[in-house]
C-alpha cells in the first residue's frame, strides 16, 4: 500500500512540475508567442491604465472595472484607433492564472467581446489570495501583434 501511495505522489508531483514550468499559454522558452507563421516578442505589461504602443501604430490600455479584489472582475482593453483601422479586425484574448499553481486556477485563454463603447471586455474571477498573472494577446486580422503579462497580488 505504501508503494502505491508513493508512486501516485510521484506522478502527481511530476504533473505539477510540468505545469509550473510553463509560462502563459503558447509561450516558447525564450518568452515569445508561438504561432503557425511567426513569433511575436513577449513583453511585460505596464501598470493598468498605462498606454502600450502596438506595432501597427495604434495604442491600447487595459484595466479592471474596479480595484482588483477577490471574486468576479471585468477586464477591459481599449484600443486607441489612430490609424482609423476597423476595431472589428482586432481580436483580444486574455488568460488569468496563479504562477505558483499553474493550471490549477487558470481561466483559459478567453476571447474578449467588443462592447458598445468599443472596448474589449470579459469577466475574470480571482478565487483566492496570492499572485495572479494576467496574460493579454492582441491579434489583427487573425495575426498576433502583441503579447504581454502583468502580475497582481491580492
Q: What pLDDT is stored for residue 104 in this prediction?
A: 85
pLDDT at residue 37 above 70? no
**Tell me, what's the pLDDT at 103?**
81
| pLDDT at site 27 | 40
- Contact by Cβ (8 Å): 137, 101: no
Q: Which residues contact 111 (CB under 8 A, 6 or more apart)?
A: 91, 92, 93, 122
pLDDT band at 148 (very low <50, low <70, confident <90, very high): very high
Q: What is the pLDDT of residue 45?
A: 94
Residue 26 pLDDT > 50: no
Query: pLDDT, tens digit, for every residue of 2-16?
Result: 445 444 444 343 343
**CATH, domain range 2-153:** 2.60.40.10
99: buried, middle or exposed (CB in 10 Å: 19+, 13-18, 0-12)? Answer: middle
Quick check: pTM over 0.85? no
DSSP label of 89: G
Q: Who has greater pLDDT, 98 or 16?
A: 98
Confidence tier at 41 by pLDDT (50, 70, 90): low
CA distance 28 to 75: 25
Cα(27)–Cα(34) distance, integer angstroms: 6
Show me where the domains of the chain are located. 2-153
How many Å apart are CA 16 and CA 23, to the nearest integer?
13
Amino acid at each position: 500500500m505504501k508503494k502505491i501511495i508513493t508512486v501516485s505522489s510521484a506522478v502527481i508531483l511530476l504533473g505539477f512540475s510540468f505545469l509550473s514550468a510553463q509560462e502563459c499559454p503558447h509561450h516558447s522558452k525564450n518568452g515569445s508567442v508561438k504561432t503557425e507563421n511567426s513569433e511575436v516578442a513577449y513583453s511585460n505589461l505596464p501598470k493598468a491604465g498605462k498606454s502600450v504602443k502596438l506595432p501597427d501604430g495604434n495604442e491600447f490600455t487595459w484595466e479592471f472595472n474596479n480595484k482588483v479584489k477577490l471574486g468576479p472582475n471585468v477586464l477591459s482593453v481599449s484600443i486607441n484607433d489612430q490609424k482609423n483601422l476597423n476595431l472589428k479586425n482586432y481580436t483580444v484574448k486574455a488568460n488569468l492564472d496563479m504562477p505558483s499553481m499553474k493550471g490549477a486556477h487558470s481561466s483559459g485563454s478567453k476571447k474578449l467581446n467588443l462592447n458598445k463603447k468599443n472596448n474589449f471586455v470579459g469577466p475574470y474571477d480571482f478565487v483566492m489570495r496570492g499572485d495572479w498573472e494576467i496574460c493579454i494577446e492582441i491579434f489583427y486580422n487573425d495575426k498576433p501583434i502583441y503579447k504581454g503579462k502583468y502580475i497582481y497580488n491580492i
